[in-house]
Amino acid sequence: MSRDGAGAASTAWSPVYSTVRTDSATVRVAVAGEGPPLLLLTGIGANIEMWEPAARHLTRRRLVMLDVPGTGGSPALRVGLRMRGYAHLVTQVLDALGLDRVDVLGYSWGGALAQQLAHQAPERVRALVLAATTPGVGGQPPWPWVLALMSSPARYYSRTYLRLTAPLVFGTGPRAAADSLHGRARLHRPPSIVGYTQQLHAISGWSSRWWLRQLDHPTLVIGARRDPLARPRNADILAAALPHARLEMVDGGHLFLLEDPQQSCALVEDFLCDQDAGASVEPVGAQSGR
Protein backbone atom coordinates (compact mmCIF):
# COMPACT_ATOMS: atom_id res chain seq x y z
CA MET A 1 0.00 0.00 0.00
CA SER A 2 1.39 3.41 -0.93
CA ARG A 3 1.66 6.08 1.70
CA ASP A 4 1.64 9.87 1.57
CA GLY A 5 0.88 10.10 -2.11
CA ALA A 6 3.65 7.77 -3.34
CA GLY A 7 3.13 4.98 -5.82
CA ALA A 8 2.67 4.22 -9.47
CA ALA A 9 -1.10 4.70 -9.33
CA SER A 10 -0.70 8.33 -8.32
CA THR A 11 -1.26 11.19 -10.74
CA ALA A 12 1.05 14.15 -11.22
CA TRP A 13 0.62 17.14 -8.93
CA SER A 14 0.50 20.12 -11.25
CA PRO A 15 -2.15 22.58 -10.07
CA VAL A 16 -2.85 25.81 -11.91
CA TYR A 17 -3.09 28.73 -9.49
CA SER A 18 -5.16 31.88 -9.77
CA THR A 19 -6.59 34.62 -7.57
CA VAL A 20 -10.28 35.29 -7.09
CA ARG A 21 -11.40 38.64 -5.69
CA THR A 22 -14.83 38.84 -4.07
CA ASP A 23 -16.58 41.69 -2.31
CA SER A 24 -14.95 40.75 1.00
CA ALA A 25 -11.82 38.71 0.27
CA THR A 26 -8.93 37.84 -2.00
CA VAL A 27 -8.73 34.08 -2.36
CA ARG A 28 -5.90 31.95 -3.74
CA VAL A 29 -7.33 29.10 -5.81
CA ALA A 30 -5.82 26.05 -7.50
CA VAL A 31 -7.27 23.65 -10.07
CA ALA A 32 -5.71 20.30 -10.99
CA GLY A 33 -6.68 17.33 -13.13
CA GLU A 34 -9.52 16.54 -15.50
CA GLY A 35 -13.06 15.27 -15.06
CA PRO A 36 -16.14 16.25 -13.05
CA PRO A 37 -15.31 19.07 -10.60
CA LEU A 38 -14.61 18.14 -6.99
CA LEU A 39 -14.29 21.02 -4.53
CA LEU A 40 -11.87 20.28 -1.68
CA LEU A 41 -12.45 22.14 1.60
CA THR A 42 -9.76 21.50 4.18
CA GLY A 43 -9.11 21.77 7.89
CA ILE A 44 -8.54 24.79 10.05
CA GLY A 45 -5.36 26.65 9.15
CA ALA A 46 -4.53 24.28 6.28
CA ASN A 47 -3.30 25.30 2.83
CA ILE A 48 -3.77 24.03 -0.73
CA GLU A 49 -0.42 22.25 -0.85
CA MET A 50 -1.40 19.97 2.02
CA TRP A 51 -3.87 18.29 -0.35
CA GLU A 52 -1.07 16.84 -2.50
CA PRO A 53 -1.04 13.28 -1.04
CA ALA A 54 -4.80 12.92 -1.59
CA ALA A 55 -4.81 14.77 -4.92
CA ARG A 56 -2.36 12.29 -6.40
CA HIS A 57 -4.96 9.56 -5.85
CA LEU A 58 -8.11 11.42 -6.93
CA THR A 59 -7.27 10.81 -10.56
CA ARG A 60 -10.73 11.02 -12.14
CA ARG A 61 -11.66 14.51 -10.95
CA ARG A 62 -10.95 18.14 -11.69
CA LEU A 63 -9.88 19.20 -8.22
CA VAL A 64 -10.78 22.71 -7.11
CA MET A 65 -8.91 23.91 -4.01
CA LEU A 66 -8.72 27.20 -2.16
CA ASP A 67 -6.88 28.86 0.68
CA VAL A 68 -9.51 30.17 3.08
CA PRO A 69 -8.69 33.82 3.97
CA GLY A 70 -5.81 33.93 6.41
CA THR A 71 -4.34 30.61 5.24
CA GLY A 72 -1.79 29.74 2.58
CA GLY A 73 -1.62 32.58 0.07
CA SER A 74 -4.94 34.27 0.96
CA PRO A 75 -4.86 37.42 3.11
CA ALA A 76 -6.97 37.42 6.26
CA LEU A 77 -10.39 39.06 6.21
CA ARG A 78 -10.79 42.62 7.40
CA VAL A 79 -13.98 41.58 9.21
CA GLY A 80 -14.46 38.00 10.39
CA LEU A 81 -17.26 35.77 9.13
CA ARG A 82 -19.37 33.00 10.58
CA MET A 83 -19.75 29.68 8.76
CA ARG A 84 -22.63 31.07 6.72
CA GLY A 85 -20.38 33.86 5.50
CA TYR A 86 -17.61 31.42 4.54
CA ALA A 87 -20.15 29.32 2.59
CA HIS A 88 -21.26 32.45 0.72
CA LEU A 89 -17.61 33.19 -0.01
CA VAL A 90 -17.21 29.70 -1.51
CA THR A 91 -20.20 30.25 -3.80
CA GLN A 92 -18.58 33.48 -5.01
CA VAL A 93 -15.39 31.56 -5.81
CA LEU A 94 -17.42 28.96 -7.73
CA ASP A 95 -19.14 31.78 -9.64
CA ALA A 96 -15.78 33.29 -10.57
CA LEU A 97 -14.57 29.89 -11.83
CA GLY A 98 -17.76 29.32 -13.83
CA LEU A 99 -18.77 26.24 -11.82
CA ASP A 100 -22.52 25.91 -11.36
CA ARG A 101 -22.54 22.56 -9.56
CA VAL A 102 -19.79 20.54 -7.92
CA ASP A 103 -19.16 17.56 -5.72
CA VAL A 104 -17.72 18.65 -2.37
CA LEU A 105 -15.22 16.89 -0.12
CA GLY A 106 -15.08 18.55 3.28
CA TYR A 107 -12.31 17.56 5.66
CA SER A 108 -12.40 18.42 9.39
CA TRP A 109 -13.25 22.17 9.64
CA GLY A 110 -13.90 22.00 5.90
CA GLY A 111 -16.50 19.31 6.56
CA ALA A 112 -18.51 21.79 8.60
CA LEU A 113 -18.15 24.30 5.77
CA ALA A 114 -19.28 21.67 3.27
CA GLN A 115 -22.42 20.99 5.32
CA GLN A 116 -23.16 24.70 5.54
CA LEU A 117 -22.66 25.13 1.78
CA ALA A 118 -25.01 22.25 0.99
CA HIS A 119 -27.59 23.72 3.37
CA GLN A 120 -27.69 27.28 2.08
CA ALA A 121 -26.86 26.65 -1.58
CA PRO A 122 -28.16 23.10 -2.22
CA GLU A 123 -28.37 23.64 -5.96
CA ARG A 124 -24.58 24.15 -6.13
CA VAL A 125 -23.78 20.71 -4.65
CA ARG A 126 -24.28 17.38 -6.42
CA ALA A 127 -22.81 15.04 -3.79
CA LEU A 128 -21.03 15.35 -0.45
CA VAL A 129 -18.07 13.59 1.11
CA LEU A 130 -17.67 14.38 4.81
CA ALA A 131 -14.34 13.18 6.20
CA ALA A 132 -13.08 13.37 9.79
CA THR A 133 -15.69 15.98 10.68
CA THR A 134 -18.60 16.68 13.01
CA PRO A 135 -22.04 18.32 13.14
CA GLY A 136 -20.64 20.87 15.61
CA VAL A 137 -22.66 21.52 18.76
CA GLY A 138 -24.71 18.40 19.41
CA GLY A 139 -21.97 16.11 18.20
CA GLN A 140 -19.36 14.36 20.32
CA PRO A 141 -16.77 17.02 21.26
CA PRO A 142 -13.04 16.37 21.57
CA TRP A 143 -11.52 15.93 25.00
CA PRO A 144 -10.79 19.29 26.70
CA TRP A 145 -7.02 18.97 26.25
CA VAL A 146 -7.48 18.43 22.51
CA LEU A 147 -9.59 21.58 22.28
CA ALA A 148 -6.94 23.48 24.21
CA LEU A 149 -4.20 22.38 21.80
CA MET A 150 -6.38 23.24 18.80
CA SER A 151 -6.87 26.80 20.04
CA SER A 152 -3.37 27.67 18.84
CA PRO A 153 -1.81 27.38 15.35
CA ALA A 154 1.59 26.59 16.90
CA ARG A 155 1.67 23.19 15.15
CA TYR A 156 1.94 25.10 11.85
CA TYR A 157 5.00 27.04 13.04
CA SER A 158 7.10 24.49 14.92
CA ARG A 159 8.04 20.99 13.73
CA THR A 160 8.98 20.06 17.29
CA TYR A 161 5.60 21.19 18.61
CA LEU A 162 3.83 19.32 15.81
CA ARG A 163 5.70 16.12 16.65
CA LEU A 164 4.88 16.45 20.34
CA THR A 165 1.17 17.16 19.90
CA ALA A 166 0.32 14.99 16.88
CA PRO A 167 -0.47 11.84 18.92
CA LEU A 168 -2.82 13.82 21.18
CA VAL A 169 -4.55 15.96 18.55
CA PHE A 170 -4.51 13.72 15.49
CA GLY A 171 -4.01 10.21 16.87
CA THR A 172 -1.02 9.76 14.60
CA GLY A 173 2.72 9.25 14.93
CA PRO A 174 5.06 12.24 15.29
CA ARG A 175 7.01 11.52 12.11
CA ALA A 176 3.88 10.80 10.03
CA ALA A 177 2.52 14.21 10.95
CA ALA A 178 5.67 16.33 10.76
CA ASP A 179 8.08 14.68 8.31
CA SER A 180 5.59 13.77 5.57
CA LEU A 181 4.64 15.57 2.37
CA HIS A 182 1.63 17.21 3.99
CA GLY A 183 3.61 17.92 7.16
CA ARG A 184 6.24 19.85 5.21
CA ALA A 185 3.52 21.77 3.37
CA ARG A 186 1.88 22.60 6.72
CA LEU A 187 5.09 24.09 8.09
CA HIS A 188 6.00 25.88 4.84
CA ARG A 189 2.79 27.94 4.66
CA PRO A 190 1.44 28.53 8.19
CA PRO A 191 -1.80 30.47 8.62
CA SER A 192 -1.77 33.97 10.02
CA ILE A 193 -2.77 34.34 13.65
CA VAL A 194 -5.68 36.54 12.56
CA GLY A 195 -6.86 34.08 9.92
CA TYR A 196 -6.70 31.12 12.30
CA THR A 197 -8.60 33.05 14.98
CA GLN A 198 -11.25 34.00 12.43
CA GLN A 199 -11.77 30.33 11.57
CA LEU A 200 -12.06 29.43 15.24
CA HIS A 201 -14.62 32.21 15.70
CA ALA A 202 -16.61 31.04 12.68
CA ILE A 203 -17.13 27.52 13.97
CA SER A 204 -17.61 28.35 17.66
CA GLY A 205 -21.22 27.58 18.55
CA TRP A 206 -21.94 26.34 15.02
CA SER A 207 -24.20 23.33 14.56
CA SER A 208 -25.82 21.48 11.66
CA ARG A 209 -28.01 19.30 13.87
CA TRP A 210 -31.07 21.50 13.27
CA TRP A 211 -31.12 20.98 9.51
CA LEU A 212 -29.07 17.87 8.64
CA ARG A 213 -32.21 15.89 7.79
CA GLN A 214 -33.07 18.49 5.13
CA LEU A 215 -29.94 17.72 3.09
CA ASP A 216 -31.00 15.35 0.33
CA HIS A 217 -27.62 15.10 -1.36
CA PRO A 218 -26.00 11.68 -1.70
CA THR A 219 -23.35 11.70 1.05
CA LEU A 220 -20.36 9.59 1.96
CA VAL A 221 -19.37 9.93 5.62
CA ILE A 222 -15.87 8.68 6.47
CA GLY A 223 -14.79 8.47 10.10
CA ALA A 224 -11.59 7.21 11.69
CA ARG A 225 -11.56 4.87 14.66
CA ARG A 226 -8.53 6.55 16.28
CA ASP A 227 -9.48 10.19 15.71
CA PRO A 228 -9.25 12.28 18.93
CA LEU A 229 -10.43 15.48 17.21
CA ALA A 230 -13.51 14.34 15.26
CA ARG A 231 -14.24 11.39 17.49
CA PRO A 232 -15.80 8.32 15.81
CA ARG A 233 -19.26 8.87 17.27
CA ASN A 234 -19.60 11.98 15.07
CA ALA A 235 -19.53 9.90 11.90
CA ASP A 236 -22.40 7.80 13.28
CA ILE A 237 -24.39 10.93 14.14
CA LEU A 238 -23.91 12.42 10.67
CA ALA A 239 -24.74 9.22 8.83
CA ALA A 240 -27.86 8.60 10.94
CA ALA A 241 -29.21 12.12 10.39
CA LEU A 242 -28.48 12.53 6.68
CA PRO A 243 -31.24 10.98 4.54
CA HIS A 244 -28.96 9.57 1.82
CA ALA A 245 -25.72 8.77 3.63
CA ARG A 246 -23.25 5.93 3.36
CA LEU A 247 -20.95 5.38 6.34
CA GLU A 248 -17.38 4.08 6.11
CA MET A 249 -14.98 3.75 9.04
CA VAL A 250 -11.24 3.44 8.54
CA ASP A 251 -8.44 2.40 10.85
CA GLY A 252 -6.50 5.60 11.38
CA GLY A 253 -6.33 8.97 13.03
CA HIS A 254 -7.58 12.39 12.03
CA LEU A 255 -5.15 12.72 9.11
CA PHE A 256 -6.11 9.41 7.44
CA LEU A 257 -6.94 11.06 4.10
CA LEU A 258 -3.38 12.40 3.90
CA GLU A 259 -1.52 9.57 5.60
CA ASP A 260 -3.19 6.66 3.79
CA PRO A 261 -4.57 8.31 0.65
CA GLN A 262 -4.72 5.15 -1.42
CA GLN A 263 -7.34 3.48 0.77
CA SER A 264 -9.40 6.52 1.69
CA CYS A 265 -9.34 8.11 -1.78
CA ALA A 266 -10.48 4.80 -3.26
CA LEU A 267 -13.60 5.10 -1.09
CA VAL A 268 -14.14 8.63 -2.36
CA GLU A 269 -13.60 7.67 -6.02
CA ASP A 270 -15.93 4.67 -5.80
CA PHE A 271 -18.67 6.77 -4.23
CA LEU A 272 -18.37 9.57 -6.80
CA CYS A 273 -18.24 7.09 -9.68
CA ASP A 274 -21.55 5.72 -8.40
CA GLN A 275 -22.95 9.26 -8.62
CA ASP A 276 -21.57 9.62 -12.16
CA ALA A 277 -23.30 6.41 -13.18
CA GLY A 278 -26.58 7.53 -11.62
CA ALA A 279 -26.42 10.92 -13.33
CA SER A 280 -25.81 9.29 -16.72
CA VAL A 281 -29.24 7.60 -16.64
CA GLU A 282 -31.25 10.54 -15.31
CA PRO A 283 -33.95 11.82 -17.67
CA VAL A 284 -33.31 15.09 -19.46
CA GLY A 285 -33.83 18.04 -17.09
CA ALA A 286 -33.57 15.95 -13.92
CA GLN A 287 -30.30 17.51 -12.77
CA SER A 288 -31.73 21.02 -12.70
CA GLY A 289 -34.91 20.02 -10.92
CA ARG A 290 -33.63 19.87 -7.39
Contact, 187 vs 159, CB < 8 A? Answer: yes
Distance CA 204, CA 106 (A): 18
Cα 44 from chain centroid (whole Å):
9
Q: Is 18 a catalytic residue?
A: no
CA distance 112 to 199: 11
- Between strands 102-107 and 62-67, the pairing is unpaired
Which one is catalytic: 10, 24, 74, 108? Answer: 108
Can you list the positions of beta strands (E) in 70-155? Answer: 102-107, 125-131
Give the burial string for 177-216 (b: 16+ CB within 10 Å, else e): bbebbbbebbbebbbbeebbbbbbebbeebbbeeebeebe
Give the catalytic positions in this structure.
108
